[in-house]
DNA sequence: AGCACGCCGACT
DNA sequence: GTCGGCGTGCTC
């Protein structure tokens, strides 16, 4: 025999592993979780060893020898391997891509896990004894650098030294030349925040409800899932922090997952200011080395807390103690392309696997989580609607019919804005539509300017003087005349945040106005600056899109205006009402957070809509219960399981031919198994053409997960065989959050 | 996904 | 005569 055979996950879209002979120089046994460099076709690829066996089903003449094993210690530990193995099976996604998703890009490319060194500096003996005042008098920056060394007595890297001034690098070179400082190279590590920040924070005394939640989570032994329900500002973060502190006392790490937009500098600052440990941060803005650093800090146990977005659910933890999912209802926790996993669902699986508690926090829990609470699988902890503060905001529905409307605002809403501004209140205006106007209408022939590649209208952006398609990103200069009839009577129709901002500036020229949407926060650090303007009170009016709803704390807002409540009311997706309610509660929750009671004004064409009424009169909980009954009757999640097969192609027929063949294969599979699984479609996506591709889908409905999985495994194998699949791009989405 | 092979149209 | 279009097949 040729020695052990390695079963390797290689990054391809194939649902299987590849067998290789052990490399010649394999010193020691190959182990599961190690990275291995293998020849793959004409190329070399980095794969993950998923198993080691003495035999292989592959013909001996086809077996190739692996080039080398890249890790001494497995890059993925046994717990992560189990998680990824399960995820690949459950989401029916190729193992090679699943394992790759769990590794920082640097490791995917084959870099040594210890790579990433940094240059830093420390004082020499001469430097320790040098006359500080004499140096500081002639060279300010050098003086500040010496002061930094004196404060910490440490080895300092660029990140810390740059605080001395923009010309720090020139100053440090001068200090090296004088022999006061020496330059060294060390393995890069994340630093804990300066202790000076920590002294500023005075932890608030927990409320009785917070106490109950903290105690419940702290006393949990082994796996336990909790829903921590409470609006932003009710003190969820304080509960997290107290539980994390207890974990630190026991020398255990906590993994905190937050939605993309929630990972703001403010949140990070708050954690660093409070916790006596290094905090590893993982978000999309990091470069490869920074990511590797954070990953390693988590794995080696250098970081007491790891905060990250979705993909951080895969970081290795040396001493796991707790997993927190903040804003667990947020759809950005589900990856929407490629490997379509839910970080929330994987967190629960991982918590069980690691035998640690999992806390799911939200003001507006997903129906899936509420169902788990109802079934007794999760423990429900709830915080009163607001910590310390007075009462519920007053909510007022404004009928948009039979009313004069200027710039999208009715008279009552304008009055309310003026009233709150005069009373020195802060006003927040929510309009989930960016740009100036959502369409451009020819008043002569009635044509609307449409995108050439999508079934959608172009949005007018006045600031950039362009028409932009929000679906494919296409841009066009503003037309001088109608493209259909040639006349020049083009009218911007509808309200976007850009237009609303300009209207508000005309109305209140002397008030600070800040707009927060994707267009105004494009540059790095921009969002932080804008949030600061709101917090400091410099801005009296803050307007924006969905971005405003995600976890930012604006304690002085007394009035919240929802300009158009109707966008989400009649969505195509069965989850439209859940989404709308979540956005509502999240937005309305901003009003009157501190001492003053707030007001919420909502403009709608349907003031009698039962959903709005229930939500406003009774709150999110009763709304959710009512909506859940509908879900049960209709067989929608969380009362049933869904899987979506999507297909797209520049040729309409290619996409739908594939879906029809897929349906036939499904019928075939079901005839053999006899399981009660329903197939709906093929149906065109709600926006059939996007970025020049025609899109369609097939919806699979089953009563139980087991049934769904029994169906999906053989079906997926059949899909891979379908000839029609070669002419269309397709993907499987288990537990989809978006139905198109 | 890549990458090669292979078999038909318009070009130096 | 060949450059190159994308259909088909393969990757241990």
- Tokens 């008043």 map to which residue? A443
- CA geometry: angle at A671 spanning A667 and A676, to 5°? 85
A726 touches strand C (CB under 7 A): yes
Cα-based distances in Å from A334 to A177, A306, A311, A331, A453: 53, 19, 10, 6, 27
Instruction: Output the distance from A97 CA to B7 C1' rounded to whole Å.
Output: 34
Q: Which helix (H) or strand (E) holds A476?
A: strand A475-477
Q: How far is Cα A729 from Cα A719, in angstroms, rounded to an integer? A: 12
- Tokens 């989404």 map to which residue? A579
Residue A153 tokens read as 């007595």
Which of A111, A2, A132 minimizes the C-alpha distance to A60? A2
A718 touches strand C (CB under 7 A): no
Residue A314 is predicted with a pLDDT of 98
Residue A195 is predicted with a pLDDT of 47
Residue A32 DSSP symbol: T
Residue A400: other Cβ atoms inside 10 A: 18
- Enumerate residues 6+ apart whose C-beta is below 8 A from A333: A257, A259, A310, A325, A327, A342, A343, A344
CA of A723: nearest nucleotide by C1' is C8
Strand locations in A548-691, DSSP E?
557-562, 599-604, 641-649, 677-690
Instruction: Output the distance from A735 CA to C11 C1' rounded to whole Å.
Output: 31
CA of A41: nearest nucleotide by C1' is C11
CA of A42: nearest nucleotide by C1' is B3
Which of A485, A474, A434, A419 minimizes the C-alpha distance to A452? A474
Instruction: Output the distance from A62 CA to C1 C1' rounded to whole Å.
Output: 39
Could you tell me if residue A110 is left (phi over 0), alpha (psi between -120 and 50 degrees) or otherwise beta? left
Instruction: Output the distance from A97 CA to B2 C1' rounded to whole Å.
Output: 15
CA of A729: nearest nucleotide by C1' is B1
A405 touches strand C (CB under 7 A): no
- Do the Cβ atoms of A326 and A260 come closer than 8 Å? no
- Enumerate residues 6+ apart whose C-beta is below 8 A from A161: A121, A145, A148, A168, A172
CA of A730: nearest nucleotide by C1' is B1
Instruction: Output the distance from A492 CA to B6 C1' rounded to whole Å.
Output: 54
A658 touches strand C (CB under 7 A): no
Q: How far is Cα A703 from Cα A688, in angstroms, rounded to an integer? A: 29
> Which residues of the protein have their beta carbon within 7 Å of strand B?
A 12-14, 41-43, 729
- Enumerate residues 6+ apart whose C-beta is below 8 A from A499: A407, A408, A435, A436, A437, A462, A492
Cα-based distances in Å from A9 to A343, A400, A603, A688: 22, 58, 54, 35
Task: Find the DSSP H helices in A567-651.
Answer: 576-588, 610-618, 620-634
Q: How many residues comprise chain A? A: 740
**A715 phi, psi to nearest 5 deg:** -65, -45
Chain C: nucleotides below 7 Å from protein CB are 7-8, 10-12
Which of A438, A415, A395, A364 minimizes the C-alpha distance to A607? A395
- Do the Cβ atoms of A212 and A180 come closer than 8 Å? no
Instruction: Output the distance from A545 CA to B6 C1' rounded to whole Å.
Output: 54
Residue A592 is predicted with a pLDDT of 63
CA of A40: nearest nucleotide by C1' is C11
Beta bridge partners of A394: A599
Chain B: nucleotides below 7 Å from protein CB are 1-4
Residue A384: other Cβ atoms inside 10 A: 15
Q: Which helix (H) or strand (E) holds A358?
A: strand A357-362
- Tokens 């891509």 map to which residue? A97
CA of A12: nearest nucleotide by C1' is B1
Which of A393, A420, A433 minimizes the C-alpha distance to A547? A433
CA of A724: nearest nucleotide by C1' is C7
- CA geometry: angle at A649 spanning A647 and A650, to 5°? 160
The DSSP string of A34-89 is -EEEEEETTEEEEEEEEEEES--SS-TTT-EE--EE--SS-SS-HHHHHHHHHHHH
Reported pTM:
0.88
Which of A247, A203, A248, A206 minimizes the C-alpha distance to A228? A206
Instruction: Output the distance from A713 CA to B4 C1' rounded to whole Å.
Output: 31
Instruction: Output the distance from A18 CA to C11 C1' rounded to whole Å.
Output: 9
Cα-based distances in Å from A692 to A337, A347, A555, A686: 18, 37, 45, 15
Cα-based distances in Å from A310 to A114, A328, A339, A366: 24, 11, 12, 17
Residue A196 is predicted with a pLDDT of 47
Residue A194 is predicted with a pLDDT of 52
A40 touches strand C (CB under 7 A): yes
Q: How far is Cα A218 from Cα A248, in angstroms, rounded to an integer? A: 12
Mean pLDDT for back-to-back runs of 10 residues, chain A (740 residues): 85 95 81 96 94 91 93 94 98 97 93 73 77 80 77 73 78 81 71 54 85 96 95 85 97 95 78 92 87 94 96 97 96 94 98 98 95 97 69 82 89 93 91 91 87 91 91 89 84 92 92 89 78 87 85 80 80 82 80 70 88 86 89 91 94 92 94 90 91 93 95 94 90 91
Q: How far is Cα A219 from Cα A246, in angstroms, rounded to an integer? A: 10
Residue A381 tokens read as 């902890």
């Amino acid at each position: 025999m040729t020695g052990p055979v390695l079963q390797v996950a290689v990054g391809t879209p194939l649902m299987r592993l590849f067998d290789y002979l052990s490399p010649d120089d394999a010193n020691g046994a190959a182990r599961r979780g190690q990275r291995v460099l293998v020849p793959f076709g004409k190329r070399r690829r980095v794969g993950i060893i998923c198993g080691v066996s003495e035999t292989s089903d592959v013909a001996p003449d086809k077996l190739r020898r692996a080039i080398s094993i890249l890790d001494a210690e497995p890059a993925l530990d046994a717990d992560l391997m189990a998680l990824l193995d399960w995820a690949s099976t459950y989401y029916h996604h190729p193992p090679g891509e699943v394992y790759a998703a769990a590794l920082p890009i640097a490791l995917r490319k084959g870099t040594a896990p210890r790579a990433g060194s940094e240059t830093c500096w420390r004082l020499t003996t001469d430097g320790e004894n040098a006359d500080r005042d004499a140096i500081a008098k002639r060279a300010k920056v050098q003086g500040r650098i010496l002061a930094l060394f004196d404060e910490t007595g440490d080895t300092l890297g660029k990140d810390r030294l740059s605080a001395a001034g923009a010309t720090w690098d020139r100053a440090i070179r001068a200090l090296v030349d004088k022999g006061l400082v020496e330059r060294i190279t060390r393995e890069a590590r994340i630093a804990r925040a300066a202790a000076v920040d920590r002294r500023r924070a005075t932890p608030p005394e927990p409320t009785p409800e917070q106490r109950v939640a903290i105690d419940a989570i702290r006393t949990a032994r082994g796996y336990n899932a909790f829903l921590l329900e409470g609006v932003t500002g009710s003190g969820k973060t304080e509960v997290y922090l107290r539980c994390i502190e207890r974990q630190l006392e026991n020398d255990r790490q906590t993994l905190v997952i937050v939605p993309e937009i929630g990972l703001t500098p403010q949140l990070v600052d708050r954690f660093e200011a409070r916790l006596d440990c290094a905090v590893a941060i993982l978000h999309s803005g990091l470069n490869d080395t920074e990511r590797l650093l954070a990953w390693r800090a988590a794995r080696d146990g250098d970081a007491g807390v790891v905060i990250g977005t979705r993909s951080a659910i895969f970081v290795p933890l040396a001493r796991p103690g707790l997993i927190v999912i903040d804003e667990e209802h947020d759809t950005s926790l589900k990856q929407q392309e490629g490997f379509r996993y839910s970080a929330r669902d994987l967190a629960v699986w991982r918590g069980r696997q690691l035998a640690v508690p999992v806390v799911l926090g939200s003001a507006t829990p997903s129906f899936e989580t509420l169902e788990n609470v109802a079934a007794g699988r999760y423990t429900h902890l709830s915080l009163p609607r607001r910590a310390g503060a007075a009462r519920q905001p007053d909510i007022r529905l404004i009928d948009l019919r039979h009313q004069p409307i200027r710039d999208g605002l009715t008279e009552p809403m304008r009055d309310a804005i003026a009233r709150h501004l005069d009373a020195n209140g802060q006003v927040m205006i929510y309009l989930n539509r960016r740009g100036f106007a959502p369409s451009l209408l020819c008043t002569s022939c009635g044509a609307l300017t449409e995108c050439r590649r999508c079934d959608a209208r172009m949005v007018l952006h006045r600031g950039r003087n362009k028409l932009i398609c929000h679906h494919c990103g296409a841009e066009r200069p503003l037309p001088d005349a109608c493209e259909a009839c040639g006349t020049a009577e083009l009218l911007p129709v509808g309200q976007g945040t850009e237009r609303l901002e300009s209207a508000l500036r005309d109305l209140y020229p002397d008030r600070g106005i800040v707009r927060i949407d994707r267009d105004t926060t494009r540059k790095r650090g921009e969002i932080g600056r804008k949030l600061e303007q709101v917090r400091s009170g410099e801005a009296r009016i803050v307007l924006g899109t969905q971005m405003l709803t995600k976890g930012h704390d604006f304690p002085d807002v007394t009035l919240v205006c929802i300009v158009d409540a109707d966008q989400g009311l009649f969505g195509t997706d069965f989850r439209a009402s859940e989404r709308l309610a979540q956005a509502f509660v999240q937005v309305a929750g901003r009003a009157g957070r501190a001492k003053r009671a707030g007001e919420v004004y909502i403009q709608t064409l349907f003031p009698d809509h039962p959903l709005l009424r229930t939500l406003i009169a009774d709150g999110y909980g009763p709304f959710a219960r009512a909506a859940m009954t509908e879900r049960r009757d209709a067989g929608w999640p969380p009362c049933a399981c869904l899987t979506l097969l999507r297909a797209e192609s520049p040729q309409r027929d290619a996409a739908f031919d594939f879906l029809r063949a897929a349906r036939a294969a499904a019928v075939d599979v079901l005839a053999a198994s006899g399981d009660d699984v329903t197939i709906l479609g093929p149906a065109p996506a709600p926006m059939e053409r996007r970025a020049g591709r025609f899109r369609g889908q097939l919806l699979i409905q089953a009563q139980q997960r087991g049934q769904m999985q029994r169906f999906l495994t053989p079906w997926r194998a059949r899909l891979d065989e379908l000839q029609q699949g070669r002419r269309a791009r397709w993907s499987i989405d288990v537990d989809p959050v978006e139905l198109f």
